[in-house]
Amino acid sequence: METEELARRVKAGERRALARAITLVESSRPDHREQAVALGELLAGAGRQALRLGLSGTPGVGKSTFIEAFGTMLTEQNLRVAVLAVDPSSSRSGGSILGDKTRMEELSRNPAAFIRPSPSQSQLGGVARRTREVVALCEAAGYDVVLIETVGVGQSETMVAEMSDLFLLLLAPAGGDELQGVKRGIMEIADMILVNKADGDLKPVATRTCADYAGALHLLRKRPEDPEGFPKAMTVSAVSGDGLETAWQEMQSLAQWRKDNGFWQARRAGQARHWFEEEVRQGLLARLSNSPQMRAQMAALGGKVADGSLAPAAAAQEMLGLLDGQSG
Ligand code: GDP
């Protein structure tokens, strides 16, 4: 299909066109990459601005149950929802924590929802970069909310936060007063903490856990982009549905406040710059590894560095000089 035709169909909200565009974006074939970039150009500025929600949580915390219930609730409010995943395990082993087909069964049959598992790429960075392009495709296709899900492993949370307007952390109720070993860095990027499973016997524990995190959040930080009362910790139950509507209202009011105060726009601008720089960085690395000549030179200089006949900095200079020569 012509790129223009594909762009037109994506903009018209055709699911098959969107799926096809995503396959294109995820492909590493150079001709596909070229077409994907052209498509991105054609779609730039199309569609409404979706609300991009990042959602992180360890396996078992209830992410798929939450997305199923939350996503269904949104579609009942006449919103179209896209669900994407950034799965670090899929890049390492080919196996995926988030790709399991039986997840979100109801939502996957919902015509107002679009679910796409994590792309399998060799590196997490690659997965994240492609996902970020897929977010833009979903937005062009008119989805109102794009949920980007990830497991709390390694760098994946930071990468998802870099493509979200709001970053949500889903936690489970925890006994005692230990803060579940949540990394400080994650607490610093979370816009909202949702303590899930606040139902049945777990409800009192969830309430206590929530209070602990609310306290920790307040001690930890105050950012200009957080209005009074944020970052916020709340309890929800993905199973009973309790708290989901309230959580959604809080997300909307935070998003609106940030729009009214310029933080939303600034965040998106910063993210666009980040992804541009990331593409350049990855492009440079690809040049090093794709050319047999460059690889040979890397190996040769690496050998000299290893046997001490050349300093690492000098070898790097020489290598970078070659890149200059190549592009000139
Ligand atoms: P994920 O690995 O983060 O996607 O977690 P799942 O959604 O697969 O849920 C893991 C387990 O927790 C399942 O047995 C769910 O039924 C259960 N679970 C999820 N949400 C809730 C909840 O709100 N309340 C209770 N009681 N259990 C839940």
- 310-320 mean pLDDT: 93
Tell me which residue of 183, 197, 240, 201 sits closest to 69, measured CA to CA: 240
CB count, 10 Å around CB of 72? Answer: 18
Beta bridge partners of 147: 53, 83
pLDDT value at position 46? 73
pLDDT at 282 over 90: no
Q: Following DSSP, what letter does each residue of 151-175 receive, concatenated?
A: -S-TTHHHHHHTT-SEEEEEE---S
pLDDT value at position 301? 95
Tokens in use for 66? Answer: 């939450």
Fold of 48-261: Rossmann fold (3.40.50)
Give me the half-sphere count of Cα atoms (radius 13 Å) on the Cβ side of residue 257.
16
Q: Cα separation of 245 and 226, whole Å? A: 21
- 311-325 mean pLDDT: 89
Residues of the chain with CATH 3.40.50.300: 48-261
Tell whether the torsion through CA atoms of 193, 199, 205 and 208 is positive or negative: positive
Q: Which of 55, 61, 65, 205 is the pocket-test mutation for ligand 1 (most atoms within 8 Å of CB)?
A: 65
What is the distance in A from the centroid of ligand 1 to the CA of 59? 9
Going by alpha carbons, the residue nearest to atom 10 of ligand 1 is 60
Q: Cα separation of 178 and 163, whole Å? A: 30
AA letter at 215:
G
CATH 1.20.5.170 assigned to domain 1-47? The reply is yes
pLDDT at 181 over 70: no
Question: Exposed, middle or buried: residue 66 (CB in 10 Å: 0-12, 13-18, 19+)?
Answer: buried
What is the distance in A from the centroid of ligand 1 to the CA of 239? 8
Segment of 19-33, 165-179, 208-222 carrying the highest mean pLDDT: 19-33
Q: What is the DSSP letter of 235?
A: E
pLDDT value at position 260? 96
Residues of the chain with CATH 1.20.5.170: 1-47
Ligand 1 atom closest to the Cα of residue 237 is: 23
Q: Cα separation of 161 and 56, whole Å? A: 9
The pLDDT tens digits of the residues spanning 228-239 come to: 889 999 999 999
Q: What is the DSSP letter of 118?
A: P
Percent of the chain with pLDDT over 90: 62
Q: What's the whole-model pTM score?
A: 0.90
pLDDT value at position 326? 67
pLDDT value at position 122? 67
Q: Are 196 and 180 in contact (CB under 8 A)?
A: no
Q: Cα separation of 74 and 86, whole Å? A: 22
Question: Exposed, middle or buried: residue 324 (CB in 10 Å: 0-12, 13-18, 19+)?
Answer: exposed
Tokens in use for 95? Answer: 């196996």
- 93-110 mean pLDDT: 74
The pLDDT tens digits of the residues spanning 125-155 come to: 778 888 999 999 999 999 999 999 998 777 8
Ligand 1 atom closest to the Cα of residue 59 is: 2
